[in-house]
Structure 1
Amino acid sequence: MARAFIFPGQGSQAVGMGGELAEAFPAARQVFEEIDDALEQRLFRLMQDGPESDLVLTENAQPALMAVSMAVMRVLEAEGNVDLKKSAKFVAGHSLGEYSALAAAGAIGLADTARLLKRRGKAMQRAVPVGEGAMAALLGLSLEEASAVAEEAAQGEVCAAANDNATGQVVVSGSSAAIDRAVEIAKEKGAKKSMRLNVSAPFHCALMQPAADEMRDALEGVTIKAPVVPVVANVTAGAVSDPERIRELLVMQVTAMVRWRESVLYMKDQGVGSLHEIGSGKVLATMTRRIDREIEASAVNTPEDIEKLLASL
């Protein structure tokens, strides 16, 4: 049975994350130190001590989540001699998690990944003034139904499906007033629940185009190698290994929908029977069970989780 390693996105951050890893494993401590040096910031201290209000800022949350994911990967390599090429058929990540996946697969260096995510977070926050954009979760509607709600709610403004996370779990993104309309229309259309999300910007929609333009510039200056295993890209829900195509898709990803449900089903169709969520939290493992209960899913973020995974490889 083939495996894939998957990497969480924004929302999985929590004060204290990575602390157990750093205490238990020198390889994890080294990752956190390398990222602090690359960013010229005491990010690990912020991850441990907060305040949470600073950690959740997009420019901090994105590199911090990647840091925990890469700390787990380095520990797996150091403690269990894990060779990703032998252990996984694919890697994939949700939004910023795609950068973690690429770093894990050796396509982008650790320092470059940290700097790219710091810049990505800042660019996304700058793209839309606070209060002018929003996101909402529409629960109980299919992607087609949620897209129809977004189209009806737009009324000349931006409103689009941003995350197809799991069956009946779609997030829409766009102009603040349009998102408010989408919440009400979704209720009328039979959504089990529709609610605005507590996010700082309208991610993965056309309003993010200024951030996409900035990331195009940022990515041009970074070396991207072929990953040791293919990456299942958010934009296409298919495998990619060509460095220039990866670069192109990372730019597109800023404004495009995250096709996570389709990505998981693609991996299943390719023979993957188990997914291991590498990094903070267990959001993707929980989503996997909603997408297809035949796929085994586990979260790997503590020393105990690592020991369990190594015993199964």
Structure 2
Amino acid sequence: MKKIAFVFPGQGAQYVGMGKEISNQYKVADEIFQEASLSVGYDMKNMCFEGPEEELKKTENTQPAILTTCIAIAKVLEEKGIHPHITAGLSLGEYASLVISGAMEFKDAVALVKKRGKYMQEAVPLGVGTMAAILGMEREDLYKALEKGKEFGIVEAANFNSPGQIVISGEIVAVEKTCEFAKELGAKKAVVLPVSAPFHCSMLIEAGRNLSKELENIEIKDLKVPVIANVNGGYYKDSSQVKDLLIKQVSQSVLWEDSVIKMLHEEIDTFIEIGPGKSLSGFIKKISKQEDKKVDIYNVEDIKTLEAVVDAVLK
């Protein structure tokens, strides 16, 4: 029997048209889009299916749109009899994992991430912060580059995505200088990313404080499926940890590589990336190769990929 992990992407995976095919064909998916519209106060189908792209790219729209698409598709998989043994998501994707685990109601989560996106965007004025991907560099060497970069301002490790792919975040000059130092220390490439805010660094502590006030009004239930947290790469021990770890997640590093290694050590042999894009599939492929584990990796974002996963997993 296959041991399955559902994994969910973060911000940046969005595109106009995501979820449309599956929503048109499956009632359970369509109902999620309708529920989202009621929770956020605008037509979620229109936002995801028609855009325009500039509206979809706004952080406070992107986050609920991706979450809705992920949950709509996950509900179809569950309806077909495919259920996860473990679930994890990258940054925003962790909210989808908590919904699938039963810890959070979807209607609460989608309204919450709309506010999360707004708070993250507002925490740092445009033109002050940025992020960059550092490719082909070990963590220890990156820490050396970060130490030098910190002389020019705030700069921190934001995402440990996979072997040789780490994202840094902070003030623009400090990030640019760290990119230079990283290349001097042997990084293959350092690329400033087209993002609107420096996510997952201490510059977003205020966003976490604002999020904590919203979380006070949300009921957290027992987790029925184990969820791995970004902040520590380990399981949520129980529902009492959920709010604290979600607050910390806004301004701390995302330990995605550690999270995948944890799942591999739990003998997960089938990863299903659910939602727009397949960036997580690429990360998991690299991590599983490094760990010398043979796994099946799928992504589901439309009818074709859905049918392929159903055929493969339920055969």
Q: TM-score range by the shorter chain?
A: over 0.9
1:95-123 CA-to-partner distances (Å, cap 9, x unmatched) read 00000111111111111001110000000
1:290 aligns with 2:286: yes
Shift of 1:147: 2.2
Shift of 1:43: 2.5
Residue number in structure 1 paired with 2:28: 27
Shift of 1:303: 1.9
1:268-295 CA-to-partner distances (Å, cap 9, x unmatched) read 1111112110111111011111112323
1:89 aligns with 2:85: yes
1:167-193 CA-to-partner distances (Å, cap 9, x unmatched) read 000000011110010111111112111
Residue number in structure 1 paired with 2:302: 302
* Distance in 2 of aligned mates of 1:43 and 1:187: 42
1:228 pairs, out of 221, 224, 230, with 224
* Distance in 1 of aligned mates of 2:81 and 2:296: 23
SS in 2 for 1:20: helix
1:48 aligns with 2:49: yes
1:31-69 CA-to-partner distances (Å, cap 9, x unmatched) read 101101111112220211111111011111111111111
Percent of aligned pairs with the same amino acid: 38
SS in 2 for 1:223: coil
- 2:4–2:86 contact (8 Å) kept in structure 1: yes
- 2:132–2:175 contact (8 Å) kept in structure 1: yes
Q: How does 1:147-166 map to 2 (within 5 A)?
A: 147-155=143-151, 157-166=153-162
Alignment TM-score, normalising by the size of structure 2: 0.95
Residue number in structure 1 paired with 2:242: 246
- 1:43–1:60 contact (8 Å) kept in structure 2: no
- 2:203–2:251 contact (8 Å) kept in structure 1: yes
The alignment's C-alpha RMSD in Å is 1.2
Shift of 1:241: 4.2
Residue number in structure 2 paired with 1:263: 259
Residue number in structure 1 paired with 2:184: 188
2:123 pairs, out of 120, 123, 127, with 127
Residue number in structure 1 paired with 2:74: 73
Alignment TM-score, normalising by the size of structure 1: 0.95
Comparing 24-33 with 69-78, greater Cα deviation is found at 69-78
- One-letter identity of the residue aligned with 2:25: A
1:281 aligns with 2:277: yes
Comparing 113-122 with 269-278, greater Cα deviation is found at 269-278
Extract unaligned runs of 5+ from structure 2.
none
SS in 2 for 1:204: coil
Residue number in structure 1 paired with 2:95: 99
The total of aligned residue pairs comes to: 308
* Distance in 2 of aligned mates of 1:193 and 1:245: 37
* Distance in 2 of aligned mates of 1:153 and 1:266: 31
Shift of 1:156: 5.7
* Distance in 1 of aligned mates of 2:22 and 2:170: 37
Runs of 4+ off more than 6 Å: none
* Distance in 2 of aligned mates of 1:295 and 1:203: 30
* Distance in 1 of aligned mates of 2:232 and 2:145: 23
1:199 aligns with 2:200: no
* Distance in 2 of aligned mates of 1:249 and 1:22: 32
1:39 aligns with 2:40: yes
* Distance in 2 of aligned mates of 1:229 and 1:77: 13
- 1:151–1:160 contact (8 Å) kept in structure 2: no
Extract unaligned runs of 5+ from structure 1.
none
1:217 aligns with 2:241: no
* Distance in 1 of aligned mates of 2:72 and 2:181: 43
Shift of 1:77: 2.8
Residue number in structure 1 paired with 2:136: 140
* Distance in 1 of aligned mates of 2:141 and 2:42: 44
- One-letter identity of the residue aligned with 1:298: Y
SS in 2 for 1:240: coil
